[in-house]
Amino acid sequence: MGETRSAPARRTASIRVRALAKLNLSLRVLGVRPDGYHELRTQFQSIALHDTLTFRSIGGPFCIRCDEAGCPTDAKNLVWQAAQRLWAAVARPGPMPGVSVRIAKRIPVRAGLGGGSSDAAAALRALAMLWRARVSRERMLEIAAEVGADVPFFLHGGSVLGLQRGDVLVPQHDVPAAWIVVVVPPFGVSTADAFQWFDHRRGGGPALANDLEQPVAARHPESARLVQDLRDAATQAGMSGSGSAVFGLFDRRTTAAQAAKRLDGGGRRVFLTRTVARAEYARMTRLAR
């Protein structure tokens, strides 16, 4: 994303970067692929809710620290996997250098908001700078897709159509700016489970913008109730990705704030946020020394 600098070599103390969440404004499952993944047609949208990551070269081994208990700090974290794949791709001798990664986690996990994937994309960009690795944009997108199907989207941001596994991307015109209420119920959903529930669904639910919404609601009725509540108040509402987060889009901040207040409680987490257009995404996710 244009962060290759020709500045004179100097010691990089640390690099800080925001990792923004996404919504899937729509998600159609078109079939099952020979590789076991599902063929998708999904409308990704960046939102202002974000994690902040700080990368620092250290003498010791690679390590991740996170202020959120549900966030893995070992090789299960996509940041770790991104680092390993990037290091393999640059083909330098020796083991992966020591880096400490601090993740200030604000994006709920297992919510379909892409937090782990966005952190991984941020890590690819920050580590390429930290390691002074020359990696073409095409190669970065390939590495991102190896880390996870959602990760390449976060190297674009804004409004993007995702095809195939969700990793073949067609940037769209920015959607009209909107306020967003994101409601995260007190349960999470694993992406693999949601796709399995879709495969095993019985009968058809109502036609919704997200094909995973009905199979998830069949296991978690609260999900359908929350979407219905948001749908009554918002211009558009649905579940994001494989859930569990649901969202509503609003033209006016005051209407959004009223809905956010009404839905707060019962162990739910509620966020009042907004859409982020592509140019703003580039500004907000710029690498900072």
Residues identified as active-site: 22, 150
Asked if 165 is part of the footprint of ligand C5P (rule: CB under 6 A), the reply reads yes
Total binding residues toward ligand C5P, as defined by CB under 6 A? 11
Please state the closest distance from residue 35 (CB atom) to ligand C5P, in A.
9
Please state the closest distance from residue 115 (CB atom) to ligand C5P, in A.
12
Per CB under 6 A, the list member of 158, 166, 185, 241 interacting with ligand C5P is 166
Q: Rounded CA gap, 102 and 71, in Å? A: 12
Minimum CB distance to ligand C5P smaller for 163 or for 175: 163
Contacts with 39 (C-beta within 8 Å, 6 or more apart), sequence order: 29, 30, 31, 32, 33, 164, 165
Please state the closest distance from residue 175 (CB atom) to ligand C5P, in A.
22
Which tokens in the block code for residue 3? 């962060």
Closest alpha carbon to 158 in 71, 41, 280:
280
Q: Answer whether 130's CB lies under 8 Å from 15's CB.
A: yes
Asked if 148 is part of the footprint of ligand C5P (rule: CB under 6 A), the reply reads yes
Please state the closest distance from residue 32 (CB atom) to ligand C5P, in A.
8
Asked if 49 is part of the footprint of ligand C5P (rule: CB under 6 A), the reply reads no
Per CB under 6 A, the list member of 15, 40, 181, 224 interacting with ligand C5P is 40
Per CB under 6 A, the list member of 7, 91, 170, 192 interacting with ligand C5P is 192
Per CB under 6 A, the list member of 1, 26, 28, 37 interacting with ligand C5P is 37
Asked if 50 is part of the footprint of ligand C5P (rule: CB under 6 A), the reply reads no
Q: Rounded CA gap, 204 and 234, in Å? A: 25
Measure Cα distances from 144 to 18, 72, 93, 121, 279 in Å.
17, 19, 22, 7, 21
Return the H-helix or E-strand segment holding 287.
Answer: none
Q: Answer whether 32's CB lies under 8 Å from 9's CB.
A: no
Q: Rounded CA gap, 205 and 202, in Å? A: 9
Asked if 153 is part of the footprint of ligand C5P (rule: CB under 6 A), the reply reads no
Asked if 191 is part of the footprint of ligand C5P (rule: CB under 6 A), the reply reads yes
Q: Answer whether 249's CB lies under 8 Å from 230's CB.
A: no
Per CB under 6 A, the list member of 21, 103, 121, 149 interacting with ligand C5P is 149
Query: Applying CB under 6 A, which residues contact ligand C5P?
Result: 37-38, 40, 148-150, 165-166, 191-192, 195
